[in-house]
């Protein structure tokens, strides 16, 4: 950690993909539609009976009661809870269309409710959604069943109800505890509220509690963020997700309400990141990868130690690599060698389902080279290592020759101590793990051919 200096962070302060998929979502095409997706679902169904790998489910709940100015998610701000009931009715249609093609009772080992604000749904709405999912899918014991929570929308009693519904993991959106920062981004929530909820979650037996933080927000300073880090250390969640704020008002309208003059400069952002890395290490957190930290006893840290990490559109996961069925407006899924995304506009999403059609508007069928590169990138992102012989046997290639240009490109990172390359493998060093996206980007042939990288967030 002593080698991770602000100067080193600045050197790698460049845009790049997060690699929750490869190819990345910006490569999806509108030529991929419902028929292509149905074929992928049917091919999954035709696998050996009883041997279907468990699914991952993602459900997007787009509604929020108030607008957070930094937000870049697909959301609908509304004070009308009845809109959620209509949405649930359409989700029921989408779920039924899925099981019509892939079969009822498919095993599920992972569920994630994201948004928006999933806890915008009432207790009755959440119960209806979970009953709907359980009636179509077979939830497996020991799975990861998580939900994103806006602390302003729940009480300890609501958390108890979430546990009763089967959720065993929670993710609280905190971002920053500083009152001035919260006011500047229109998300005011006292630290005492978050502390009480985390304490309640522990008492209720939730297996893991995550806290999201963002650095680079308006009115943040290294000094104010230091105070937030101290409070997080006291809170001691099982996991921490630390994200850099990307100010892109031309793409995300809510960000236009942020006072650009109040944003911290590049040096201040790097100082915040460097101090956060130091703070989390001193508190005993394991750097899982990308923006994620976990206590050594958390399942995510254990999976990293045991080489069992996987990565999907929700980030790192302890569950085996599996197909992901995504439900709801704008949701992105993966089935077999395909990716697909639903309509981003709610009216368009409803219109597809009114026609009895799955609301897929774009996606991608992966070719052989895509699959080989995905295997390499995911191995780097999850295990920090690519074993050449294993890659050769899996894909019937000479990987050293296949990736000769990429390995040559890595020479500079090797000289900087980020990677080690020998006859058997490519390995990311302990220091290089903090910049693993830069290593993975070398194998992204789309990115190497595309100089317009500004659409991506910065890699640190």
**Per-residue burial over 302-319, b = 16 or more CB atoms within 10 Å of its CB, e = otherwise:** ebbeeebbbbbbbbbbbb
Q: Is 64 annotated as a binding residue?
A: yes
142 annotated among ligand-binding-site residues: no
Which contacts of 342-347 are long-range, i.e. CB under 8 A and separated by 24 or more positions? 342/60, 344/74, 346/62, 346/76, 346/87
Q: Dihedral of the CA atoms 326, 329, 163, 210 (nearest 10)? A: 80
Beta strands 63-64 and 76-77 are: parallel
Q: Per the annotation, does 187 bind a ligand? A: yes
| Residue 322 counted as an annotated binding residue | no
Contact 121, 82 (CB under 8 A): no
| Three-class secondary structure assignment of 92-155 | HHHHHHHHHHHCCCEEEEEEEEEECCHHHCCHHHHHHHHHHHHHHEEEEEEEEEEEEECHHHCC
Q: Does 117 appear as a known binding residue?
A: yes
The answer to whether the annotation marks 24 as part of a ligand binding site is no
70 known member of a binding site: yes
338 is in an annotated binding site: no
First-to-last CA distance in the chain?
15
Residue 421 known to bind ligand: no
Q: What angle do CA 36, 40, 44 make, to 5 degrees?
A: 165
To the question of whether residue 176 is assigned a binding role by annotation, the answer is no
The answer to the question of whether 219 is labelled as a binding residue is no
417 is in an annotated binding site: no
Angle between helices 82-102 and 34-45 (to 10 degrees): 60
* Residue 16 annotated as binding site: no
**DSSP codes, 274-307:** HHHHHHHHHTT-EEEETTEEE-TTSHHHHHHHTT
Q: How many angstroms separate the Cα of 171 from the Cα of each of 163, 201, 249, 367? A: 13, 11, 26, 35
Binding-site residue positions for [4Fe-4S] cluster: 64, 68, 71
Annotated binding site: 58, 64, 68, 70-72, 115-117, 148, 175, 187, 212, 246, 332
Which residues belong to the annotated binding site for S-adenosyl-L-methionine?
Answer: 58, 70-72, 115-117, 148, 175, 187, 212, 246, 332
């Amino acid at each position: 950690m002593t080698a991770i200096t602000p100067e080193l962070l600045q050197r790698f302060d460049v845009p790049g993909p997060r690699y929750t998929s490869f190819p990345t979502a910006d490569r999806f095409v509108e030529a991929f539609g419902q028929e292509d997706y149905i074929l992928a679902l049917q091919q999954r169904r035709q696998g050996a009976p009883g041997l279907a790998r468990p699914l991952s489910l993602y459900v997007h709940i787009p509604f929020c009661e108030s607008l957070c100015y930094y937000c870049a998610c697909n959301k609908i701000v509304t004070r009308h809870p009845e809109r959620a009931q209509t949405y649930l009715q359409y989700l029921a249609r989408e779920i039924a269309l899925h099981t019509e093609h892939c079969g009822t009772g498919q095993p599920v080992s992972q569920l994630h409710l994201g948004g928006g604000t999933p806890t915008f749904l009432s207790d009755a709405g959440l119960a209806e959604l979970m009953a709907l999912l359980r009636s179509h899918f077979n939830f497996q014991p020991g799975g990861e069943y998580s939900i994103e929570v806006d602390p302003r929308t729940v009480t300890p009693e609501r958390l108890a109800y979430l546990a009763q519904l089967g959720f065993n993991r929670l993710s609280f959106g905190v971002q920053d505890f500083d009152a001035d920062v919260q006011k500047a981004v229109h998300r005011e929530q006292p630290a005492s509220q978050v502390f009480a909820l985390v304490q309640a979650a522990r008492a209720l037996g939730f297996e893991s509690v995550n806290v999201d933080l963002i650095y680079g927000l308006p009115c943040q300073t290294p000094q104010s963020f230091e105070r937030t880090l101290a409070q997080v250390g006291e809170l001691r969640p099982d996991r921490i997700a630390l994200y850099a704020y990307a100010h892109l008002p031309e793409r995300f309208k809510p960000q236009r309400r942020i006072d650009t003059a109040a944003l911290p400069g590049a040096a201040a952002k790097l100082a915040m990141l460097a101090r956060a890395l130091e703070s989390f290490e001193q508190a005993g957190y394991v750097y899982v990868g990308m923006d994620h930290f976990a206590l050594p006893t958390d399942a995510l840290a254990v999976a990293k130690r045991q080489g069992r990490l996987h990565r999907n559109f929700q980030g790192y996961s302890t569950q085996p690599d599996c197909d992901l069925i995504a439900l709801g407006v704008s949701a992105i899924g993966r089935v077999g060698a395909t990716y697909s995304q639903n309509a981003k506009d709610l009216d368009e999403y409803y219109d597809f389902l009114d026609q009895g059609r799955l609301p897929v508007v774009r996606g991608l069928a992966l070719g052989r080279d895509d699959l080989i590169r995905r295997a390499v990138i995911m191995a780097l992102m999850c295990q920090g290592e690519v074993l050449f012989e294993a890659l050769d046997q899996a894909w019937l290639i000479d990987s050293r020759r296949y990736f000769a240009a990429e390995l040559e490109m890595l020479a500079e990172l090797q000289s900087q101590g980020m990677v080690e390359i020998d006859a058997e493998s490519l390995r990311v060093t302990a220091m290089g793990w903090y910049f693993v996206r830069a290593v993975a980007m070398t194998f992204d042939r789309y990115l190497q051919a595309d100089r317009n990288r500004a659409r991506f967030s910065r890699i640190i």
